Every structure is written in structure tokens, then in C-alpha cells.
């Protein structure tokens, strides 16, 4: 459409009103392309494909720190940094981390957050902890953020736990059985 409109525009130099309308249509096209790019990168952040999960998490933490002033720390040992988890698991972990960090910013009133990864034999544990106000953990989550996290974890064969008490911060921990099999090759 942009190409065709540009073609028309070059040939309609005489009529200012017509030109104005073509320019407006071109602008709508440019806006739509931008929106499409944003939606695509929201569905699957490019950084996951290009740099892998660990670098994507690092940049998510940096962005969060830059935007909110929350001090963010990533702990990721070299043995874990060498592992790829596979496409579905990486996107699920990334989305869970996004939701946890959004919750920390919206609800926790925290000053610091730590994302710690740890190998437990062949299992992988990822923990996100904040030093904020904490909460009473619902026995059965009914709100979409927490529910979504549990569902994403289950979908990739993992287990998600929430530990929190009022005044004592919140820790979300995700355990992925046998995620570290195969090392860097996966």
C-alpha cells in the first residue's frame, strides 16, 4: 500500500488537496507498520531469539531499573548461562519474569529485587525476590497475573511457588525439572 500510494503521490503534484489526503493515508500506513512491529516484538521479544533467555532477562532487569529506580540484581552462574531451555520454556520464563517485575513495581513498594538462578542437579530454579511489603498468599489465586504465572509454569512442566508474608517481601520461585539436560546444545 505504501509503495502504491507513493507512486500516486509522485504523479499528483498538481492538486494540493489530493496530496494532503495521500500524505494522510501514508501516515496511517507508517503508524500501522509501527504498531505491527510493536505487537510482534511483544508476542516474542526479539532479544530472546538473538541473545537467548539470560541476556533477555538481564536487559529486562536493566529496563526495569532504568524506568522505576528499583535496584535489580541478576545472579546467573556460568554453567546456567551456557544452557538454552528451548523456545517454549524460554518465552514462558520471560513472561513470568515480566509479570513478577510488573507486580513488584505496582504492588510491592520495594527498593530491591533479585533474580537468582540456580542448578539443582539437572533441575533449574529461578527465584525472584523483592524486599517490599509482602502479601497474604492466596490459597488459590483468582487474579489473572498470578493465575497466568502458574499456568505458564505448568505448561512447560514446571512448578511455581509463592512465598510471602505481610512486611516480609515476596519470593516467586520456579522449578523446572531436567531443564539443564543437554547444556549449551539445546
Positions in the binding site for Mg ion (CB under 5 A): 103, 145
The two counts, helices (H) then strands (E), for the chain are 7, 5
135 binds ligand ATP (CB under 6 A): yes
Task: Tell me the closest approach of the beta carbon of residue 150 to ligand ATP, in angstroms.
Answer: 10
Closest residue to Mg ion, based on beta-carbon distance: 145
DSSP state, residue 76 = -
Nearer to ligand ATP, 53 or 108 (CB): 108
Counting contacts by CB under 6 A, is residue 145 touching ligand ATP?
yes
Residues 6+ apart with CB under 8 A from 81: 54
64 binds ligand ATP (CB under 6 A): no
Q: Which residues bind ligand ATP (CB under 6 A)?
A: 103-104, 106-108, 130, 132-135, 143-146, 170
Amino acid at each position: 500500500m505504501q509503495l502504491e500510494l507513493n507512486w500516486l503521490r509522485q504523479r499528483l503534484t498538481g492538486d494540493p488537496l489530493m496530496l494532503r489526503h495521500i500524505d494522510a493515508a501514508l501516515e496511517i500506513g507508517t503508524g500501522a507498520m509501527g504498531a505491527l512491529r510493536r505487537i510482534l516484538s511483544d508476542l516474542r521479544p526479539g532479544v530472546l531469539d538473538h541473545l537467548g533467555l539470560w541476556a533477555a532477562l538481564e536487559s529486562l532487569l536493566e529496563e526495569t531499573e532504568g524506568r522505576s529506580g528499583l535496584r535489580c540484581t541478576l545472579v546467573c552462574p556460568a554453567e546456567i548461562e551456557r544452557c538454552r531451555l528451548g523456545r517454549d520454556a524460554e518465552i514462558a520464563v520471560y513472561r513470568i519474569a515480566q509479570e513478577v517485575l510488573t507486580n513488584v513495581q505496582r504492588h510491592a513498594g520495594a527498593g530491591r529485587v533479585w533474580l537468582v538462578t540456580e542448578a539443582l542437579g539437572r533441575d533449574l530454579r529461578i527465584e525472584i525476590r523483592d524486599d517490599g511489603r509482602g502479601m497474604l498468599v492466596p490459597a488459590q489465586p483468582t487474579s489473572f497475573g498470578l493465575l497466568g504465572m502458574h499456568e505458564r509454569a505448568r505448561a512447560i512442566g514446571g512448578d511455581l511457588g509463592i512465598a510471602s508474608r505481610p512486611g516480609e517481601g515476596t519470593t516467586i520461585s520456579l522449578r523446572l525439572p531436567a531443564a539443564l539436560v543437554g547444556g549449551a546444545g539445546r
